[in-house]
Amino acid sequence: MKLLEGKRAMVTGVANRWSIATGVARALHGHGARLALTYQGERVRDEVEKLAAELGGTSTIECDVSSDASLSALAETIPERLGSIDILVHSIAFANKEDLAGKVYDTSRSGFALALDVSAFSLVALVSALRDRFADRASVIALTYLGATRIVPNYNLMGIAKAALESEIRYLAYDLGDRGIRVNGISAGPIKTASARQVGGFTKILDLVPKVAPLHRNVSTEDVGNMAVFLASDLSSAVTGDVHFVDAGFHSMGMFPPDLG
């Protein structure tokens, strides 16, 4: 059974075949959604176009979420490329590598502004630019991580940005609710992506999760994609303003098992 037949989805943040956004795009496509993928700049264009070709009938659109002009151009392009939007997936984050190590209090003002602009404000900016392109009862989904609400060493500034993102999810859910538009987050467990490898000690996190999480395993982009399909579908018609964990239950643990060592 295809849960998204006839729905149109725009997925942001596809960078390569390992990215979480790619797993989400594959899952949405597998359930019948028609896709448009955005990309920033020539650096990732080839990879995004390869995925689009694999997912037949998928459009690619250049968009720099830090540019109001680029967002306006995206809004103008959507009717021709996709029609209206039933599903928007926000999977965009960036911080300078030096701000993902050391002490948070050493973060520069410019580094803080950049990370919050790209990683958090971009959701507000996308919704603002595309609000007239949303179909009623659309679904907006943003990717986040446990570091928004817990201390994850070396996640640092990105945790602060994700905390802002999660707050935006709640406020946007309220603002868009009168049109039946739902806004939710997916807090994915650690997955081996190019972005995640920028976080110091990331491989240790991957080793730890299966020892601690109730399901005793790490998660995959397919796991995250399955949750995205649910949140994008009519099965979640009364679900909004919340963050949904896909981390094998790791977030629910109050302490590590006594036999961990």
pLDDT digits 0-9 by tens, 5-53 = 999 999 999 988 889 999 999 999 999 999 999 998 888 899 999 999 9
The whole-angstrom separation of Cα 58 and Cα 82 is 9
For the annotated catalytic residues, the residue numbers are 145, 155
258 within domain boundaries: no
- Reduce the DSSP state of residue 63 to 3 states and report it: coil
pLDDT, tens only, 91-103: 999 999 888 888 9
Domain count, the chain: 1
Q: Look at residue 196 and tell me whether its pLDDT is greater than 70.
A: no
Q: Look at residue 78 and tell me whether its pLDDT is greater than 70.
A: yes
Q: Look at residue 245 and tell me whether its pLDDT is greater than 60.
A: yes
pLDDT, tens only, 208-232: 899 999 999 999 999 999 999 999 9
What pLDDT score does 24 carry? Answer: 98
What pLDDT score does 203 carry? Answer: 73
What pLDDT score does 255 carry? Answer: 81
pLDDT, tens only, 49-75: 999 999 998 999 999 999 999 999 999
Share of the chain above pLDDT 70, in %: 96
| CATH code for position 61 | 3.40.50.720
1 within domain boundaries: no
Residue with tokens 């467990």: 189
First to last CA, the chain: 44
Q: Look at residue 201 and tell me whether its pLDDT is greater than 70.
A: no
244 within domain boundaries: yes
**Residue 246: Cβ within 10 Å count:** 21
2 within domain boundaries: no
125 within domain boundaries: yes
Mean pLDDT computed over every residue of the chain: 93
Q: Look at residue 105 and tell me whether its pLDDT is greater than 90.
A: yes
Would you give the distance in Å from CA 201 to the centre of its chain? 22
260 within domain boundaries: no
The residue range of the domain holding 159 is 8-248
pTM above 0.75, yes or no: yes
**Could you tell me if 75 and 130 are in contact, meaning their C-beta atoms sit under 8 angstroms apart?**
yes
Q: Which helix (H) or strand (E) holds 81?
A: helix 68-81
What pLDDT score does 194 carry? Answer: 59
